[in-house]
Structure 1
């Protein structure tokens, strides 16, 4: 009974975490985000770390089914540490400064970080407006919100274009 509750709690935490990580999921950093003991992935993307945590949840469910108590204990502890680390990283993302790198690259990395933050905020603003638009009953308010959504989509696409250009510059510089 305790293991079923544990699995439910971990699954709920991962689902909530996936929603929090969504705006940051594709953003890369210069160096690894986490210790190699915590996450085996070499990727610096939050989505890769989240996928690894979800794979560990699947392995935990499998170990529970097979009644492998030692593995259940280790996986549960490891998965809870991964979830806690991802929550901390998500909460402190806006405070993160770029890892130190070569001076020429550092400028472009700072620009990438700024544009990633712009993109995240634009996505949040657009989602908020869309939710308000769905809830609005006044046609004039709906029309105003739809115009704002269109404007935000344009800003978001320009931001993503700039982000892709910055990524290509960084790719050329790091070859």
Structure 2
């Protein structure tokens, strides 16, 4: 019973973190985000780390079912460490410094980081307006919120286009 509660708690925490990092899940960094002993993935996307943690949760559940006590203990400790690391990274991702590189490369990386932050904020504002629109009762509020949602969606499209262009420039520079 205690184990089931622990597994449920870990699954809930992982789901909450997954939702929290969703806006930044596919934002790349130059260097690895975490120590190689904590995450095996070589990807610099936070989504890859979340997927690895989800795989470890699945492995933990299987180890519990097969009553593999040592493996349960190791996987539980590893999963908790991974969840803590993902939580720390999600709160500090915008402060993450870039690896040393050429001045031009660093400038483009900073542009990418800036546009990723714009994208995250635009997504949050769009979601907020959509929630308000769903709750709006007057026609005037509905029309105003609908226009705001459209405007934020257009801005988001332009931001993603700019981000794609920046990614292409960075890809050409790092070949």
Equivalent residues in 2 for 1:11-90, closer than 5 Å = 11-90=11-90
Contact 1:98 1:113 in 2 (8 A): no
Cα distance between partner residues in 1 of 2:98 and 2:142? 40
Q: Identify the residue that residue 124 of structure 2 maps to in structure 1.
A: 124
Contact 2:94 2:113 in 1 (8 A): no
Give the structure 2 partner of residue 115 of structure 1.
115
User: Aligned-pair distance for 1:67?
Assistant: 0.5
TM-score (norm 1): 0.98
Q: What secondary structure is seen at the aligned counterpart in 2 of 1:42?
A: coil
Q: Distance in 1 between matches of 2:26 and 2:142?
A: 31
Q: In the TM superposition, what whole-angstrom CA distance separates every residue of 1:139-162 from its partner, at most 9, and x where no partner exists?
A: 211111110000000000000000
SS at match of 2:43: coil
Is it true that 1:154 corresponds to 2:161 in the alignment? no
Aligned partners of 1:107, 1:44: CA distance in 2, in Å?
A: 19
Query: Corresponding residue for 2:94?
Result: 94
What residue ranges of structure 2 are gaps of 5+ in the alignment? none
Q: CA RMSD in A?
A: 0.8
Q: CA deviation at 1:112?
A: 0.5
Q: Does 1:136 align with 2:116?
A: no
Identify which range, 137-146 or 162-171, moves more after superposition.
137-146
Instruction: Give 4+ residue runs of structure 1 displaced > 3 Å after superposition.
Output: none
Give the whole-Å Cα distance in 2 for the aligned partners of 1:37 and 1:129: 42
SS in 2 for 1:121: helix
Partner SS, residue 58 of structure 1: helix
Deviations 1:9-42 (A, max 9, x none): 0000001001100000010001000000000000
